[in-house]
Amino acid sequence: VTACLDRIAATEPDINAFTSVQGEAALAQAKAMDAAGPDATKPLWGVPVSVKDILATKGAPTTCSSRILENFVPFYDATAVARLREAGAIIIGKTNMDEFAMGSSTENSAFGPTRNPWDTNRVPGGSSGGSAASVAARQCFGSLGTDTGGSIRQPASFCGCVGVKPTYGRVSRYGCVAYASSLDQIGPLTRTVPDAALMLSVIAGHDQRDSTSVDCPVPDYAAAIAARADLKGLRIGMPEEYWSEGLAPEVETACRAAMDRARELGATPVPVRLPHTKFAVATYYIVAMAEASSNLARFDGVRYGLRDKDATDLIDMYVSSRSKGFGTEVKRRIMLGTYVLSAGYYDAYYRKAAQVRRLIRQDFLDAFEQCDVICGPASPVTAWGIGEKTADPLQMYLMDIFTISLNLAGLPGVSIPVGLGADSGMPVGLQLLGPAFGEDTLLATADALMR
Ligand code: GLN
């Protein structure tokens, strides 16, 4: 804990990965644990980790990087956080993010952007950019992020970390501030695949407080990794839609080299198709914004956080609290989400998107008839410059093309670092996508590739 806090003190002025650091509490906890002695029943005993500021932490601020929750301190832990603590982990701080997880660069934060530790002129990706940066900058040993449309996998790829987006329902969302409830999942960002496996084993599993968490046994992911030394017999699907034009040459080169390694380890690449990929960005942004507009209605100045004290009546109080509390991107999404749900447009937009979502899921089900794992780049490009894409939100949305289909389909994915891009010198991430509850195979494949 001391080493991590020293590292935080030395690097935070450049990186800004944290919205708050619970240094004293972490040290006190570590001292108490030292005094009591090691506990072999706790798999994360004494390991300092960070947590994205969208997850409720008892007694510590939970801001979602928004002014509207600036002073909000929950009186309970999210289930995933509670499970980390029960496993002996020490939470050293809350990490910066795009406000309410809306973004792909961690620039939409009320507390300033996070910078990529590999090159501080570049973004760390997002929305879990603070989590990825805190791991990459060696400020902690692992972090919890959330992935609604790539927000674990893409920042992991931009910062050279491992990121896991579990199957929808694998990890309880209790205590995770909802962005798009049918897409959100919590997962780990770590330096290595075994670390991710360990964290996932701890946080996964049914929780009676989240009715969408699935009641099926949690495999020992670390054991699943250890059991697989090579990739013999594994069929890896390569969707032509993910390995096509629009991909930066440096990303393609690094990802193809990883595929060569998979072949050497015994895997067989098979061409597959995900034909509805071209509709994924439009579909995702309709579904996500619709759900966000509904979820964010709870921030009314009454129940949580910021309230405009100068308001003259109740409606004025709602309007001015929300106007002052939410940032530009959040407002844009609430308006678009409200629009696609409105009576005259529901059928044309929301219902249509829900139908296309079903087709996107079917693409994956069909592809998994022919392969065990699907593989492709996590992002078409490596980390871009700070400020480079902020003027044009659509440009930013289009960068999510490879990550968002998976959330619409509810399936798991793992992003692993596969080297540095020859042009930018920045990390490149390869993602492995699997069938529902196929995290064990994904992690074993990822580990074999990274060894
Ligand atoms: N970039 C996507 C968005 O802005 C994904 C974010 C996420 O996964 N939370 O919605």
Question: pLDDT tens for residues 242-294?
Answer: 998 789 999 999 999 999 999 999 999 999 999 999 999 999 999 999 999 99
φ, ψ (nearest 5 deg) of residue 388: -65, -35
CA of 132 to the centre of ligand 1 (A): 15
Query: In ligand 1, which atom is closest to the CA atom of 102?
Result: 4
Query: In ligand 1, which atom is closest to the CA atom of 285?
Result: 10
Measured from the CB, is residue 128 less than 6 Å from ligand 1? no
Query: In ligand 1, which atom is closest to the CA atom of 152?
Result: 8
Measured from the CB, is residue 150 less than 6 Å from ligand 1? yes
Q: Which two tokens stand for residue 113?
A: 């952007």
Going by alpha carbons, the residue nearest to atom 10 of ligand 1 is 102
pLDDT at 305: 85
CA of 372 to the centre of ligand 1 (A): 26
CA of 182 to the centre of ligand 1 (A): 13
Q: Would 338 be classed as within a structural domain?
A: no
Domain count, the chain: 1
Q: Would 215 be classed as within a structural domain?
A: yes
Q: Would 208 be classed as within a structural domain?
A: yes
Q: How far apart are CA 418 and CA 251, in angstroms?
A: 9
Going by alpha carbons, the residue nearest to atom 4 of ligand 1 is 103
Q: Which residues pair with 189 in a beta bridge?
A: 143, 163
Measured from the CB, is residue 291 less than 6 Å from ligand 1? no
pLDDT at 390: 94
Q: Of 269, 273, 263, nearest to 241 (Cα)?
A: 273
pLDDT at 376: 98
Query: In ligand 1, which atom is closest to the CA atom of 399?
Result: 1
Mutate to test the pocket of ligand 1, among 104, 165, 289, 333 (most ligand atoms within 8 A of CB): 104
pLDDT at 451: 87
Measured from the CB, is residue 185 less than 6 Å from ligand 1? no
Q: Would 302 be classed as within a structural domain?
A: no
CA of 58 to the centre of ligand 1 (A): 25
CA of 405 to the centre of ligand 1 (A): 12
Measured from the CB, is residue 102 less than 6 Å from ligand 1? yes
CA of 101 to the centre of ligand 1 (A): 6
Please, are residues 299 and 319 in contact by the beta-carbon 8 Å criterion? no
What is the span of the domain harbouring residue 166?
Answer: 2-281+351-450
CA of 313 to the centre of ligand 1 (A): 35
Instruction: Examine the predicted complex and report whether its ipTM is higher than 0.90.
Output: yes
pLDDT at 246: 85
Q: Would 161 be classed as within a structural domain?
A: yes
CA of 153 to the centre of ligand 1 (A): 11
Mutate to test the pocket of ligand 1, among 52, 147, 151, 182 (most ligand atoms within 8 A of CB): 151
Measured from the CB, is residue 288 less than 6 Å from ligand 1? yes
Q: What pTM, to 2 d.p., does this model score?
A: 0.98
Q: Evaluate the CA torsion angle 225, 230, 235, 239 in order and state its sign.
A: positive
Q: Would 443 be classed as within a structural domain?
A: yes
Angle at 311 between CA 70 and CA 305, to 5 degrees: 20
Q: Would 290 be classed as within a structural domain?
A: no
Going by alpha carbons, the residue nearest to atom 5 of ligand 1 is 149
pLDDT at 259: 97
Q: Would 322 be classed as within a structural domain?
A: no
Measured from the CB, is residue 149 less than 6 Å from ligand 1? yes
Mutate to test the pocket of ligand 1, among 128, 395, 400, 407 (most ligand atoms within 8 A of CB): 400
CA distances from 53 to 17, 72, 82, 85, 314 (A): 11, 11, 15, 16, 29
Measured from the CB, is residue 104 less than 6 Å from ligand 1? yes
Q: How far apart are CA 229 and CA 71, in angstroms?
A: 49
Q: How far apart are CA 195 and CA 204, in angstroms?
A: 14
CA of 104 to the centre of ligand 1 (A): 6
Q: How far apart are CA 329 and CA 335, in angstroms?
A: 10
Q: Of 62, 57, 52, 63, nearest to 83 (Cα)?
A: 57
Give the residue numbers marked as catalytic: 52, 127, 151
451 residues of the chain, pLDDT tens digit each? 999 999 999 999 999 999 999 999 999 999 999 999 999 999 999 999 999 999 999 999 999 999 999 999 999 999 999 999 999 999 999 999 999 999 999 999 999 999 999 999 999 999 999 999 999 999 999 999 999 999 999 999 999 999 999 999 999 999 999 999 999 999 999 999 999 999 999 999 999 999 999 999 999 999 999 988 899 999 999 999 999 878 999 999 999 999 999 999 999 999 999 999 999 999 999 999 999 999 999 999 998 889 999 999 999 999 999 999 999 999 999 999 999 999 999 999 999 999 999 999 999 999 999 999 999 999 999 999 999 999 999 999 999 999 999 999 999 999 999 999 999 999 999 999 999 999 999 999 999 999 8
pLDDT at 245: 79
Please, are residues 150 and 411 in contact by the beta-carbon 8 Å criterion? no
Q: What is the CATH number of the domain that holds 430?
A: 3.90.1300.10
Query: In ligand 1, which atom is closest to the CA atom of 179?
Result: 9
Whether the bond between 127 and the residue before it is cis, its omega within 30 degrees of 0, is yes
Q: Which two tokens stand for residue 407?
A: 């959330």
pLDDT at 141: 98
Measured from the CB, is residue 106 less than 6 Å from ligand 1? no
